[in-house]
Structure 1
Amino acid sequence: MTQIKKVAVIGAGTMGGGIAAHCINAGLQVVLLDTVPSSLTPDEEQRGLTLASKEVRNRFVKAGLERIKNARPAALFDPQSIAKIVIGNVEDDLALIADADWIVEAIIEQLEPKRALMEKIEQVRKPGSIVSSNTSGIPIAAIAAGRSEDFRRHFLGTHFFNPPRYLYLLEVIPTPDTDPDVVATISRFADVTLGKGVVVCKDRPNFIGNRIFSYDIATTVGYALRNGYTVEEVDSLTGELIGRPKTATFRLLDLVGIDVMLHVQRNLYEALPDDEEREALKIAPEIEALAAKGWLGNKSGVGFYKEVKGASGREFWHLNLQTMEHEPPKKPRFDLVGKARKIENLPERLRFLIDNADTDRAGVFIRETMLRTLAYAARRIPEISDSIVDIDRAMRWGFSHQLGPFEVWDTLGVRKTAERMRERDIAIAPWVEEMLAKGGESFYQRDNGRVVGVWNPIESRYVEYTPPEGVLSLDDLRAQGREVARNHSASLIDLGDGVLCFEFHAKVNAIDPLITEMGWKALELLQEDRWVGMVIGNQSSDFCAGVNLGVVLMGVMGGKPEESAKFAKGTQDLFFHFRTCPKPIVAAPYGRVLGGGVEVCLAAARRVAAAETYMGLVELGVGLIPAWGGCKEFVRRHVSPHVKTPGADPLPYLQQAFETIAMAKVSELGAVQAKQLGYLMDDDRIVMNRERLVAEAKKEVLLMVAEGYTPVPPEGEPVYAIGRRGIAAVNAMVYGMRQGGYISDYDMTLARSLAYVMCGGDLTQPQWVTEQYFLDLEFEQASQLIQQPKTQERIMAILQTGKPLRN
């Protein structure tokens, strides 16, 4: 198989630039090219440039670099890495792609320009290099028509979803000429190196994801228009309520761009003359009218929603689809929805909504639109795919649906749902009828929740389900009876090969007394010979949102401060025992990792982090300081080592560490920035594909064991305490910030408390102290702060509004 180290991207637009940026994120060599302008801008003319000037000839590609640089959300893990992208244009610099292992075309969505570019690429590409087209709808085989056999064998489609860094799905589209080894190579590379969820599609219009999504959107919008549902009502019914993102339907169209949606729908309508639902894809006149007005959504500032300054501040007015005027928000209320929202479990909630649909027009809307999309997805087999698993993955990975269409259908009951479809004259795919006739009651066969088999529509039978190689599912292991211990908030799971997993599963994985209790149980088990080490990891939306503030506040304000103190001290002791554990402990953070979530990671011997990991010690925002080892670890890691260098002044390093915590800095750009901020160390690994995180953390444990892990001494290691000199310097900096109006009086109080701890207290002379000495200072200061009314106000504000209070 080809080893991909150098990537060339041709087309520096939004998509091409995003692909190039993500390849840089993955540590690859990247060349980015674009076309040459055919005319000068007024500014270029004024500056005396000509069409032969290099600056002019590279104008488009430089504009692409600017888009990468200014992209929001950020396209790059590290803004400085943009300098690694080599740029040029396709007329002067095509030789730059000659040694590329993978060449990605991402130019204008028109067949002839793509074909012309393929001819140029063939003249310079090295034998064996892979060439792909990033297109959302043009037939892949048509793009490579006329090229040599070797070119066609190494050519395929790679459809990234925008933005490429963040959206997990990558559709790989081979042609009849594509070598299967090329499909395997690009799929494995995209999975492991780029961190993508790969679905192999057939070369049909809009492939899998956009084909189903386009129909779903068209059906939803069409039903709303025909039956008088408002924009606000539709969005309240098609978002998180049914397991989809908050953007729901119309907010999503505003985000994507109404012009983009129209372009996709028109192309799809033209490309599908034989689709039985073709007329459903026709664009409604109301939507055409929006585009005619220039109301294109977020990019134009107005679409289905318009931001308005109201009496209460910023308001989002929704479009009245009948009058075509925007109206103030009304917050739709449906009795059925109110009851459904009390059901946390999504499958149970969906069954409740559909089973009770006739009681409420909200239920009718959900049922009538959902049934049509489910049936349509089934009828697309075998046209767009032979696999129900791939269709479900495409919708989950590409559009952040919690369940794919066949998973939803299973949830509702296949036979019961099919009957509801028949009652409405919704055509059911023959293969579904055949499955039901043979006694198949579900698309997926499950054993205690674990998928063990899946219906194969082509073979008309159940086939064994094989999980992706190199991926560990904690839920699957649980279903196999590998859960060693469990309480309401945490579990211990056997990962195999003697590796234990300490899993949080509380709400937002906030640390509470039950998690602490399970942590002590984990340490007890690790004393047994059968366990060689442990992973601290879970598979939720976020690794850990910090301490459960409700538990802390309830103890203090409920007249039982000793219970809060016992929990706080017990968790601090637990984390220190993690740090000094004789066997290696590896943390596997991902997503949001805040406060105590960071501290449990700092306590581990090593960390294997997902690329999209956003870490921060944010305790000062709730009127506290890190008290589970966070202050101590920052001093130990980022101050103490510099004292060992003769003549080095540790104060600047202390000030930098202090600023990170005092300003609650979060690695908003991901794990690379977490290393720069000091939350991760240089030898901590970053994994691009989060699905592989627990498995990779397990590998790290076994590697550390094989290398002969040397544990930290039971008493820890010496930590350098600067003492009064540091306190004076840091407090002077804090005072300046207060005088400048950057922080409040209470912020200054908190910062001084933090300075006191990080400097090792009121020591007259710098000295080396124990880790426990620092831990005692943390606990002492945090115990005092939690009693302060202003701290309690901050905690209450977070619990009630989710927003920090600066009192």
Structure 2
Amino acid sequence: MAISKVCVIGSGVMGSGIAAHVANAGVPVLLLDIVKDGPDRSAIARGAIDRMLKADPAPFMSSAAAKLVTPGNLEDDLAQIAECDWIIEAVVENLDIKKTLYEKLEGVRKPGSIVSSNTSTMPLAILTAGRSEGFQRDFLITHFFNPPRYLRLLELVAGPKTRADAVAEIDAFADYKLGKGVVRCKDTPGFIANRIGTYWIQAAVNEAMDLGLSVEAADALASKPMGIPKTGVFGLIDLVGLDLMPLIAKSMAMTLPKGDDFLRISRTPPLFQKMIAEGFTGRKGKGGFYRLNEKRQKLAIDLKAGDYHPAGKVKLEAIERAGRSLKVLATDASTEGEYVKRVLVQTLGYVASLVPEISDDITAVDEAMRLGYNWTYGPFELIDQLGADWLAEQLGDKAPAILKQASGGFYKVDGGTLHALALDGSYKPVVRKDGVLLLADVKRAGKPLLKNGSAALWDIGDGVVCFEFTAKMNSLDGDVLKLLGETVAFVQMKGLKGLVVYNEGSNFTVGANLGLALFAANIALWPAIEELVAGGQAAYKALKYAPFPVVGAPANMALGGGCEILLHCDHVQAHAESYIGLVEVGVGIIPGWGGCKELLARQFAEKRRPQGPMPPIAKVFETISTAQVSRSAALAKELGYLRASDGITMNRDRLLADAKAAVLEMAKNYTPPAPPEFRLPGPTAKVAMDMAVDGFRQQGKATPHDETVSKKLSTVLSGGDTDVTEILSEDDLLTLERTAFMQLAKTPQTLARMEHMLSTGKPLRN
């Protein structure tokens, strides 16, 4: 049975978020909750949808997705459940309420429809006790993580009677449609991620208090140095809510087996009880371990005194000494090193003791923590960084037996293939799902075809190659442009089928290397800067007109020059979470690598646009001058950064394979695009745009330098000294871009913006 309609019951934060994400996949959703007294009996579910439309981060990827969610209530609309193929229960964690609901579902759902619970605290066996054989065959647990749109983990738990095809169908739907990394879990307390995550949080909090560390110092250590998100531990508690911590601990205590180490370390300090009582529960309350004062200054709580002080960035010498070595940090002879050692030894020792209780597969455990808690490395990957023998030595008599088996590491590469330690002590190849192609696997198995300090070219099979950015934050520089030119010649010379531009970094690219540009500007190397601009224009133009298809495959941020390279690709296969934009005005310049020209050409080609040259020009002017960034791939289509025909992949692990498939399909009958021609109004259009900027300036919505930058942009988009009777070529527009870029780059205000962005990460409003 294909899943063509879904019902979510319970419109709280989790239930509504799940409904929104199913709608993001283009699937209609019925969102039900209890009846609300009054004229709108479905007001609770409807209110949840309204809140999500205003929420930030947004649960919906587009307004079109929101229209796929239909609100209802459990009395008037219960019969509509019969239309649904998958029914997701996301009500409060109360067994009696769940059982009453399941009894109602038995009477209305259609045969074969799949029912699942989003619980993470109740065993499946208890949930299905007393239900019919048919219900038990169709029932499983699907544990989403909050927020469902952004956290990729889905823990899937089947019961002894759950039919295999129901499990397979939900697995496939969650994988392909929802973009989830599906981890099959055993029916144990907290499953995998929360079992480990709850222990880690408790251990990290305990040791910070025992060692007298500040919350800032603890978060500086229990974050990037350990491969954990920058929230750290106290920031994470603020995010999820301090008031939830005692409830989670109580739930775990009720379900964990006797003697579990979490029961030993679990505690709620008096300070935490006081904070909860006074409403300092985190971001949803008055603040938590961190809060803002009336001047919007960030404060942090003193874990001993209980009062707040200004929170500043902490610079810890132990982190500086360790560099990138976790082992060096964990063995540093300082309080900070001792903290890292204690947290890691306890947490990783606990994880090692849970196999095979929670999973027979260490890769599943690592996957759960990477996708559910956004750890860069899973627990067993962290053990490999420290050494299993070292960890066993720290644990002494408490060391789990699996650590002795892993003296050679939990992972190793053999014959170019990644292998993982199995429970029998052997190493088995890590097998990817069908249709998953990872560049990391390609790189283990071979060497690059071309390479320099900022980019590399890889053979991904079937006559297709992959161009990868490799500089810090995948920034773009002269080396990237140089290798891009060499790549076009190489693919043509070898007679290959096509090219994918893709990488597996945190972001596709944050754009041009601003530090290099600022350095050159500060010593007045203007010819070098102009050469870089011209080089980028030439490289991107060569890519656009190459005699083979080029597919861009971005994920996360694709800004500035990263957006421009996508604009020059024949096709873009974007991950759903792609944040694409031309943001150059924030640093006082305009797009200089063809971004203005390409966006303008797309707007003129838009068949549904109003007649005349001004509407497309005005649209592009608004997009670039306000530095609009799409908050999803779907919104990138609305902004014109992606075409209607460009593809969207929900699961990032499938992005490279989808992009490669697009190349192979296009290669069957490929011809390069025809060069665009432009008929632009010239000064008359520029006057109209400049008048709009003057208005914003007078209203205080634009700064003096905003006005300067926008008026250079209006010169480019209007075509300069021309009129609609003249035909401008692509090169004419590129010359206008380059000229305006260089004029702005030489202004003190632009240099100030660049310097401010590099030092603070925020735009300067000068």
- The aligned counterpart of 1:429 is 400
1:770 Cα deviation from its structure 2 partner: 1.5
| CA deviation string 1:748-789 (max 9, x = no partner) | 222121111111111144433211111111112212222222
CA shift in 2, pair 1:331/1:464, >3 Å: closer
Matches within 5 A, 1:652-731: 652-667=615-630, 669-706=631-668, 708-713=669-674, 716-731=675-690
| CA deviation string 1:700-742 (max 9, x = no partner) | 1011113x122124xx232232222212222222222222222
After superposing the two structures, state which structure 1 stretch, 283-292 or 626-635, moved more. Answer: 283-292
Matches within 5 A, 1:535-574: 535-574=500-539
| CA deviation string 1:480-526 (max 9, x = no partner) | 11421111100001111101111111111111000001101111112
Matches within 5 A, 1:368-767: 368-422=342-396, 425=397, 427-433=398-404, 435=405, 440-447=407-414, 452-457=418-423, 459-640=424-605, 648-667=611-630, 669-706=631-668, 708-713=669-674, 716-767=675-726
1:469 Cα deviation from its structure 2 partner: 2.5
One-letter amino acid of the structure 1 residue matched with residue 410 of structure 2: F
For residues 686 and 368 of structure 1, the distance between their equivalents in structure 2, rounded to whole angstroms, comes to 43
- The aligned counterpart of 2:329 is 353
1:377 Cα deviation from its structure 2 partner: 0.5
- The aligned counterpart of 1:297 is 282
CA shift in 2, pair 1:317/1:804, >3 Å: closer
For residues 223 and 550 of structure 1, the distance between their equivalents in structure 2, rounded to whole angstroms, comes to 39
The SS at the match of 1:415 is: helix
Q: CA RMSD in A?
A: 1.9
The SS at the match of 2:480 is: helix
Matches within 5 A, 1:92-131: 92-131=76-115
- The aligned counterpart of 1:45 is none
The SS at the match of 1:501 is: strand
- The aligned counterpart of 2:18 is 19
CA shift in 2, pair 1:766/1:19, >3 Å: farther
One-letter amino acid of the structure 1 residue matched with residue 677 of structure 2: P
The SS at the match of 2:457 is: strand
The SS at the match of 2:293 is: strand
Contact 1:639–1:720 (Cα < 8 Å) also in 2: no
CA shift in 2, pair 1:431/1:738, >3 Å: closer
For residues 288 and 701 of structure 2, the distance between their equivalents in structure 1, rounded to whole angstroms, comes to 37
- The aligned counterpart of 1:28 is 27
1:656 Cα deviation from its structure 2 partner: 1.3
One-letter amino acid of the structure 1 residue matched with residue 699 of structure 2: G
| CA deviation string 1:428-469 (max 9, x = no partner) | 223333x15xxx521112248x65221112x33222221233
Runs of 4+ in 1 over 6 A off after TM superposition: none
1:158 Cα deviation from its structure 2 partner: 0.4
Contact 2:464–2:497 (Cα < 8 Å) also in 1: yes
For residues 747 and 474 of structure 1, the distance between their equivalents in structure 2, rounded to whole angstroms, comes to 41
Contact 1:489–1:514 (Cα < 8 Å) also in 2: yes
Aligned-pair identity (%): 40
For residues 267 and 696 of structure 2, the distance between their equivalents in structure 1, rounded to whole angstroms, comes to 59
Aligned match for 2:193, one of 189, 192, 209: 209
| CA deviation string 1:59-116 (max 9, x = no partner) | 3212222232222210101135323211211122111110211110000111111111
Contact 2:8–2:15 (Cα < 8 Å) also in 1: yes
1:333 Cα deviation from its structure 2 partner: 5.0
Q: Which runs of 5+ in 1 are unaligned?
A: 41-48
For residues 149 and 486 of structure 1, the distance between their equivalents in structure 2, rounded to whole angstroms, comes to 60
1:387 Cα deviation from its structure 2 partner: 1.1
Contact 1:635–1:654 (Cα < 8 Å) also in 2: yes
The SS at the match of 1:544 is: coil
For residues 705 and 147 of structure 2, the distance between their equivalents in structure 1, rounded to whole angstroms, comes to 40
For residues 483 and 786 of structure 1, the distance between their equivalents in structure 2, rounded to whole angstroms, comes to 36
One-letter amino acid of the structure 2 residue matched with residue 677 of structure 1: L
For residues 627 and 106 of structure 1, the distance between their equivalents in structure 2, rounded to whole angstroms, comes to 49
For residues 224 and 261 of structure 1, the distance between their equivalents in structure 2, rounded to whole angstroms, comes to 16
For residues 329 and 482 of structure 1, the distance between their equivalents in structure 2, rounded to whole angstroms, comes to 46
| CA deviation string 1:200-249 (max 9, x = no partner) | 11111111111011111112222233333332332222111221111111
Aligned match for 2:260, one of 267, 273, 276: 276
- The aligned counterpart of 1:46 is none
The SS at the match of 1:98 is: helix
- The aligned counterpart of 1:67 is 51
One-letter amino acid of the structure 2 residue matched with residue 463 of structure 1: K
One-letter amino acid of the structure 1 residue matched with residue 81 of structure 2: I
Contact 1:266–1:282 (Cα < 8 Å) also in 2: no
The SS at the match of 2:600 is: helix
Q: TM-score normalized by structure 2?
A: 0.96
1:411 Cα deviation from its structure 2 partner: 1.0
1:796 aligns with 2:755: yes
Aligned match for 2:746, one of 787, 793, 798: 787
For residues 312 and 447 of structure 2, the distance between their equivalents in structure 1, rounded to whole angstroms, comes to 49
The SS at the match of 2:296 is: strand
Matches within 5 A, 1:154-233: 154-233=138-217
Q: Which runs of 5+ in 2 are unaligned?
A: none
Contact 2:680–2:723 (Cα < 8 Å) also in 1: no
| CA deviation string 1:129-170 (max 9, x = no partner) | 111000121112211222222221121000000010001111
One-letter amino acid of the structure 1 residue matched with residue 365 of structure 2: I
The SS at the match of 2:11 is: coil
One-letter amino acid of the structure 2 residue matched with residue 407 of structure 1: E
- The aligned counterpart of 1:314 is 296
One-letter amino acid of the structure 2 residue matched with residue 444 of structure 1: Y
- The aligned counterpart of 2:318 is 336
The SS at the match of 1:454 is: strand
1:624 Cα deviation from its structure 2 partner: 1.2
1:273 Cα deviation from its structure 2 partner: 4.2
Contact 2:118–2:141 (Cα < 8 Å) also in 1: yes
For residues 765 and 333 of structure 1, the distance between their equivalents in structure 2, rounded to whole angstroms, comes to 59
For residues 231 and 269 of structure 2, the distance between their equivalents in structure 1, rounded to whole angstroms, comes to 21
| CA deviation string 1:400-434 (max 9, x = no partner) | 11111111101111112211221xx5x1223333x
Contact 1:581–1:712 (Cα < 8 Å) also in 2: no
